[in-house]
Amino acid sequence: MFDPKEIRKEFPTLNQEVYGKPLIYFDNGATSQKPKVVIDKIQQYYLKDNSNIHRGVHYLSQLATEQYEEARKTIQQYINAETNAQVLFTKGTTDSINLVAFSFGELLNEGDEIIISAMEHHSNIVPWQMLCERKKCVLKVIPINQQGELLIDAYKKLLSDKTKLVSVTHISNTLGTINPIKEIIRLAHSKGAKVLIDGAQSIQHLKIDVQDLDCDFFAFSGHKVFGPTGVGILYGKKELLDAMPPYQGGGDMIEKVSFELTTYNELPHKFEAGTPHIAGGIALGTAFEFLKTLDLDAISKYERELQEYAQEKIEAIEGARIIGKSQNKTSVVSFVIDSIHPFDIGTLLDKQGIAVRTGHHCTQPIMDFYNIPGTIRASFAFYNTFEEVDVFIKALNRSISMLK
């Protein structure tokens, strides 16, 4: 049986006090904590296995290369990619999206259309704006309703023969909405468009099968799935990755270099220029090995129950308003308190040992839509508990009484 209290023992950071209070970490949407096995793997690499990869014939280089490529295979299997060559190591979701915006973008022409949604993180807005400016493409936006749900009928009307790419988040980092991405992908493909899914907020909560989804690209960050910062993944369909020019030039992404001509390496190395975050890649593989020992269905059910419990408790507070009330959501509760700035609430909660996020969460268009400066966001992981939510609600009420 899934037991969050037992899982918590694997995460050293959670076992500490902040301002004399036991830490309650409700900022998992920003970054997750790391299990000891991941921390140990990073330490092992730098203590014993430190060497560059893919280039050396000596023992340490071969050992590091084997571990790095084994991590790639672990991730390939976890997301059910067809081959490990389709799994590219990047710096994170932002880097992965920028890679597609540049490389796939080079295949686009003036007047081609790209569709995103109104609930996207800035990292899934700005790269496409830059691409549209560079290539004179057209950016279109799927609207949302007051519940924080995409308007699928409006999306259908936006699609056209000029649509070349649809790029949407799987789960909104601000609203917690789980988008109907299989339908989004199916509709895009019916028009011949490709689809990128921003999985930064879904890979750690839901089972991901890229072949079943039939997405063309899937991007996520290591640090949000209990791995290190500075490393992430871009999955892509092989025929697309083969057709796309490299994003960066340098070592390891080349087959042969002369001053007259350079030919590029095969996948996945074609898109992995320079010395990568080796320790990060290896430890990300360890994070997925850790996840494979857990019951993800039970975790998904538990996290949704935790979110629903917290949302119900917050809604019972006078003056509280939930931002994002989709029927299909998970792990995130964003809210505002009448006449109190989110920053003030967040500051007082921090003094009581509770870590939440306040502000616009890199989704300013959402804040504009709801006409608010920002929200207080509590975001959960499988190591959070109902008891922590109860402490949080008491601290929230105390904070409100101090500010009114």
The domains located in the chain, with CATH, are: 4-27+295-403 (3.90.1150.10), 51-292 (3.40.640.10)
Q: pLDDT tens-digit profile of 202-216?
A: 999 999 999 999 999
Which residues fall within 8 angstroms of residue 391, CB to CB, at 6 or more apart? 24, 354
H-run or E-run covering 36: helix 36-44
Q: In the prediction, which pLDDT does 250 show? A: 86
In the chain the first and final C-alpha atoms are separated, in Å, by 44
- Joined together, the tokens standing for residue 303 give 């996290």
Question: Which residue type occupies 127?
Answer: P
Q: In the prediction, which pLDDT does 263 show? A: 81
Indicate which residue of 132, 137, 215, 362 is catalytic. Answer: 362
Q: Are 356 and 389 in contact (CB under 8 A)?
A: no
Which residues fall within 8 angstroms of residue 387, CB to CB, at 6 or more apart? none
Tell me, yes or no, if 362 is annotated catalytic: yes
Q: In the prediction, which pLDDT does 251 show? A: 81
- Joined together, the tokens standing for residue 70 give 């084994």
The closest alpha carbon to 375, from 326, 327, 338, 329, belongs to 338
Distance CA 129, CA 160 (A): 19
Distance CA 75, CA 57 (A): 26
Which parts of the chain have pLDDT scores under 50? none
Query: Helices 59-79 and 278-292 meet at what angle, rounded to 10?
Result: 40
Q: In the prediction, which pLDDT does 319 show? A: 95
